[in-house]
Amino acid sequence: MNKLDRRILKTQESLKKAVIELMSEKSFDEITIQDIADRANVNRGTIYLHYQDKYDLLDKLIETHLNELGDMDQWACELDWVDALVPYFEYFEKNYLFFSTMLASKEGKGAPSSFRTRLLASFMEGFKGEIDRESGKNGELSEDVLLQFTGTAYVGVIEWWIRNGMPYPPQAMAKQVGTLLGRSL
Amino acid sequence: MNKLDRRILKTQESLKKAVIELMSEKSFDEITIQDIADRANVNRGTIYLHYQDKYDLLDKLIETHLNELGDMDQWACELDWVDALVPYFEYFEKNYLFFSTMLASKEGKGAPSSFRTRLLASFMEGFKGEIDRESGKNGELSEDVLLQFTGTAYVGVIEWWIRNGMPYPPQAMAKQVGTLLGRSL
DNA sequence: CGTAAAACGTTGATTAATAAACAAAGCATT
DNA sequence: AATGCTTTGTTTATTAATCAACGTTTTACG
Domain coordinates of chain B in residue numbers?
6-184
What percent of chain A stands above pLDDT 90? 71
A3/B contact by beta carbon, under 8 A: no
In this prediction the pTM is 0.87
* Residue A42 DSSP label: S
pLDDT at B162: 95
* CATH number belonging to domain B6-184: 1.10.357.10
Helices (H), A77-169: 81-94, 96-104, 115-128, 143-163
Residues of A with Cβ-Cβ distance to B41 under 8 angstroms: 6, 10
| B 18-77 → A contacts, CB under 8 A | 41-43
**Confidence bin at B78 (pLDDT 50/70/90):** confident
The SS3 of residue A111 is coil
pLDDT at A77: 77
Per-residue 3-state assignment (H helix, E strand, C coil) for chain B: CCCCCHHHHHHHHHHHHHHHHHHCCCCHHHCCHHHHHHHHCCCHHHHHHHCCCHHHHHHHHHHHHHHHHHHHHHHHCCCCHHHHHHHHHHHHHHCHHHHHHHHHCCCCCCCCCCHHHHHHHHHHHHHHCCCCCCCCCCCCCCHHHHHHHHHHHHHHHHHHHHHCCCCCCHHHHHHHHHHHHHHHC
Q: Which of A6, A10, A41 shows the shortest C-beta gap to B6?
A: A41
Distance CA A80, CA A158 (A): 19
Tell me the shortest Cα–Cα distance from B4 to chain A, in angstroms. 13
**Confidence bin at B137 (pLDDT 50/70/90):** confident
Q: What is the pLDDT of residues B99-115, one digit of tens each?
A: 999 988 766 554 545 78
B6/A contact by beta carbon, under 8 A: yes
What is the average per-residue pLDDT within B83-95? 94
Q: A180 pLDDT exceeds 90?
A: yes
**Rounded to the nearest 10 degrees, how much is the dihedral formed by the CA atoms of A74, A76, A80, A86?**
-170
What percent of chain B stands above pLDDT 90? 71
Tell me the shortest Cα–Cα distance from B90 to chain A, in angstroms. 24
Q: Which residue has the higher pLDDT, B139 or B168?
A: B168
Q: What is the pLDDT of residues A142-161, one digit of tens each?
A: 899 999 999 999 999 999 99
Statement: the CB of A106 is under 7 Å from strand D? no
Displacement of CA A133 from its chain's centroid (Å) = 27
* Sequence-ordered list of residues with C-beta below 8 angstroms from that of A79, at least 6 positions apart, any chain: none
Distance from residue A53's CA to nucleotide D5's C1', rounded to whole Å: 22
pLDDT at A37: 97
Tell me the shortest Cα–Cα distance from B33 to chain A, in angstroms. 18
Q: How far is CA A16 from CA A37, A64, B2, B70, in A?
A: 11, 10, 30, 37
**Confidence bin at A108 (pLDDT 50/70/90):** low
Q: Do A10 and B43 touch (CB under 8 A)?
A: no
pLDDT at A80: 86
Q: Which of A3, A5, A10 to mutate to test the interface with B (most CBs of B within 10 A)?
A: A10
What percent of chain B stands above pLDDT 70? 95
The SS3 of residue A60 is helix
Distance from residue A87's CA to nucleotide C18's C1', rounded to whole Å: 40
**Confidence bin at A178 (pLDDT 50/70/90):** very high
Q: Which of A10, A41, A43 shows the shortest C-beta gap to B41?
A: A10
